[in-house]
Structure 1
């Protein structure tokens, strides 16, 4: 497993005006001594910086001879502060509702500067990680050549906000908040068709439906690796994705992003609806040529970005095998002062 490293940021100004210290943790996968292009990977709600290798949650995409080949790219992954993976608690922020997705982009941008990384080949993230990728690109429009937000949008819709509100109520009122919130979330991450295909109304001998035991399993499993404070914070971030701050318009902000934007949506996603992503694509195409979209076809809903690797790989392959991009201005990708 890649070593966990830390960057101390003594003072980070949050969007609400608060200033707090942050210990930003990260892992690196690939050759630190090379001048390989850098890919920043941003994890989802219950994910972390361990994106490949032992227990890597995106092993199907990232690693030696994978689509994002750690022999050709240096992969960098920050932990969203407060996710608990690095032992740092979310109580470093007195009120988790003071924290918004744009604040994570601010922290990541400061972290990149501390690592003396001023240009990225790509930023890729799934779900809330994709939303934060949007936020980072909006904050630093010339940071990357390729922006790849997966199973997300540049904003949290009313539907996303509503479900995050329910999650927050469960997390603050349930007797077993992690278990109950996770069970509810799993019904949003999958679809009725996915459940029917997987369980077909089958029951155990004790009368418990397979779907019930599956939900119980996922609820109980999360308690062994995730803290309540982390869930509250991450749910708050999912609720607050919005690159149009201070009255700005989406096209005004997004048109300034120089990167090629590759949108990835899922036809059955019940959380970040594909209709929203397609609208984003159509709107962007009116002001920006270097935009593309790919729709994963799956019955498994939002979680398909963690399941349908064959489809996702086919879409990503041309991006990460572009030799011309890898050879041009090679030195600007160099990582220094680790």
Structure 2
């Protein structure tokens, strides 16, 4: 957790009317000093964290010196969702996880940005839960975001997402080995039958009766258990079903009609979680009322997790957005 920093937030009012006396907001910055370059906020997914690049960086293929999100040109900021346990002593865990929504977390992130005296963002980007947060951050302050890039995500939780969140929540609250068992189920949402079948081909471990797919799933479960807390998993899973930019607001098109932000939707053609049909529908609806909305689709056998696998395709999709800004930075230097 190199260079992990903290902002103290006090008396934060949640969407449900309750007040949180204190929220520690942990974050990391990469690249150029704050105030000297365009800012890119990167939101992490369910089991992710603020280490987006560098040692153990989960998006090293996209963020760094000379990469698509070039730290020679941009200030990159990544917040930890409060309650994900990513700090020195696990001091920010949350037990009352059902009190929180994606909108609450988006507001927390903006409070952090304002504390850092950041008023505008070149881009807010994220995959899965991180993309949902990106949608909500943009709707909260549309005049402050130039580019919104939600990847393998959506502006709402569909019935399918809500149903799977319920299954995960039941496992997390009722299993004798909750993190491991919930992860087994989740991994099959994040991949596809084709990806699994192609990789393992019904093979067994040498001299054992255990199938390789069984061993792979169990290993994923225990790896997560060793680095993730149960309360964090419960919170992150719960947040997924609270994703809805229209809740207590106007309808989708009315909300987005007057927002000037460039919206770059990136779907995965085999995503079984945030399915591409929903993203295509969103794109076509938005395109009927505004020009600056764009749609790209990652082609992959790997399903939802393709945004963490298909880096070459994702780089090609993102390159025009970030290279344009780099060119402008160079011209104005």
Bin of the TM-score, shorter chain as denominator length: over 0.9
Partner of 1:299: 301
- Give ranges in structure 2 of 5+ residues lacking alignment: none
Q: Do the aligned residues in 2 keep the contact of 1:36 with 1:330 (CA within 8 Å)? A: no
Q: Do the aligned residues in 1 keep the contact of 2:73 with 2:326 (CA within 8 Å)? A: no
Deviation at 1:309, TM superposition (A): 0.5
Deviation at 1:256, TM superposition (A): 3.3
Range 94-103 or range 151-160, more displaced: 94-103
Partner of 2:201: 200
Distance across 1 between alignment mates of 2:177 and 2:314: 35
Change (3 A) 1:256 1:53: same
Q: Do the aligned residues in 2 keep the contact of 1:78 with 1:108 (CA within 8 Å)? A: yes
Q: Do the aligned residues in 2 keep the contact of 1:37 with 1:326 (CA within 8 Å)? A: no
Question: SS where residue 321 of structure 1 aligns?
Answer: helix
Change (3 A) 1:214 1:324: closer
Pairing 1:94-105 to 2, within 5 Å after superposition: 94-105=95-106
Deviation at 1:239, TM superposition (A): 1.3
Change (3 A) 1:330 1:100: farther
Deviation at 1:13, TM superposition (A): 1.1
Verify: 1:72 aligned to 2:73, yes or no.
Answer: yes
Partner of 2:275: 273
Question: SS where residue 148 of structure 2 aligns?
Answer: strand
Distance across 1 between alignment mates of 2:255 and 2:78: 25
Partner of 1:38: 39
Question: SS where residue 290 of structure 2 aligns?
Answer: coil
> Does 1 or 2 have the higher relative contact order (CA < 8 Å, sep 6+)?
1
Partner of 2:171: 170
Range 9-18 or range 173-182, more displaced: 9-18
Verify: 1:209 aligned to 2:211, yes or no.
Answer: yes
RMSD of the alignment, in Å? 1.7
Q: Do the aligned residues in 2 keep the contact of 1:135 with 1:243 (CA within 8 Å)? A: yes
Distance across 2 between alignment mates of 1:178 and 1:188: 15
Partner of 1:90: 93
Change (3 A) 1:188 1:33: closer
Range 319-328 or range 226-235, more displaced: 319-328
Question: SS where residue 142 of structure 2 aligns?
Answer: coil
Q: Do the aligned residues in 2 keep the contact of 1:151 with 1:266 (CA within 8 Å)? A: yes
Deviation at 1:329, TM superposition (A): 12
Partner of 2:146: 145
Q: Do the aligned residues in 1 keep the contact of 2:103 with 2:243 (CA within 8 Å)? A: yes
Pairing 1:40-59 to 2, within 5 Å after superposition: 40-59=41-60
So what's the TM-score if we normalise by structure 1?
0.94
Distance across 2 between alignment mates of 1:14 and 1:327: 38
Change (3 A) 1:240 1:123: same
Question: SS where residue 24 of structure 2 aligns?
Answer: strand
Partner of 1:3: 3
- Give ranges in structure 1 of 5+ residues lacking alignment: 332-338
